[in-house]
Amino acid sequence: MKGKVMLEQWLSKPRLIIALMQFSALAITSASAKPIITFTTHVEPQSTAYKFTNLLLTEAFSRIGYKFSMKTLPGKRSLHEANKGVFDGEAHRFSGLNDNNEFPNLIRVPEIQQVIQNAMFSKRVKNIAMPWQALAKYSVTVPRGSVWLTAMAKQYAKDVQELSSPVKMLNFVKHGRADIALMSIEAAELLTSKEFQESGVKQIGPVLSTLAIYTYLHKKHKKLVPKLAFALHQMKLDGSYQRLIKQSKKSGE
């Protein structure tokens, strides 16, 4: 009986009641907080491709119980940091990334994230026939860390310079330090910006390639691979995918 009275007196103190309430709220918040998944990418934050990837993976990971964040790094560093497990995955790469087993710790999520197109952009060169073969006469610049474009450029072009961002690539072409920039049409949206509107740099020739882009998870998260693939697939079926495409394009206007 005495113990019961003491408990009632203890609980009746306002400060203790507030402390208990705060503790309970903290416990509930901690229990319900989602773990954070952080990816790296070589895609520039101002591009539509980045905005769409960020929106898409934020929602997809939320559906499987995670918060998502993404950090842009230079292309090669982005891959190596993800492969080492410094980050939880790489957000935006083509399907053949691991054909040579260069990044053995990265597992491709078997659901297409988006499709991008690559083309040539130049100020000096006005037209180009048989695009790849014609590169033998020109110096070109490619995104550093872009595995496929770099390999193709080195196979055909007279000279290849790898640069860390689309801005640097377009400036190289603008100022005559390279003849042609090989880059995605999405990245070349920068040509509509104030910096490049009067540059004279334009797309030349047809689309060079259409590549399916995938998400890669570090092997420490291999159990999430089928879950994320399913979430991405469901988003295409329930209309979320198209909604986010429109949202990403609208945010870039």
Q: Judge contact between 244 and 59, C-beta under 8 A.
A: yes
How far, CA to CA in Å, does 138 sit from each of 66, 133, 156, 182?
A: 47, 10, 9, 12
Q: Which of 141, 143, 36, 162 is nearest to 92 (CA)?
A: 143
Q: Which of 109, 253, 242, 239 is nearest to 192 (CA)?
A: 253
Q: Judge contact between 35 and 67, C-beta under 8 A.
A: yes
Model-level pTM? 0.73
Identify the burial level of 139 via C-beta atoms within 10 angstroms of its C-beta, where 0-12 means exposed, 13-18 middle and 19 or more buried: middle
How far, CA to CA in Å, does 16 sit from each of 3, 5, 27, 184?
A: 17, 16, 16, 61
Q: Which of 110, 104, 204, 187 is nearest to 144 (CA)?
A: 187
How far, CA to CA in Å, does 132 sit from each of 93, 121, 125, 178, 208?
A: 22, 13, 14, 16, 8
Amino acid at 28: I
Q: Which pLDDT does position 48 carry in this prediction?
A: 82
Mean pLDDT, consecutive 10-residue segments, the chain of 253 residues?
Answer: 48 48 46 86 85 96 97 91 97 88 95 93 90 92 87 94 89 96 90 91 92 96 98 97 90 55
Give the separation between CA 170 and CA 178, rounded to whole angstroms: 9
Q: Which pLDDT does position 186 carry in this prediction?
A: 83
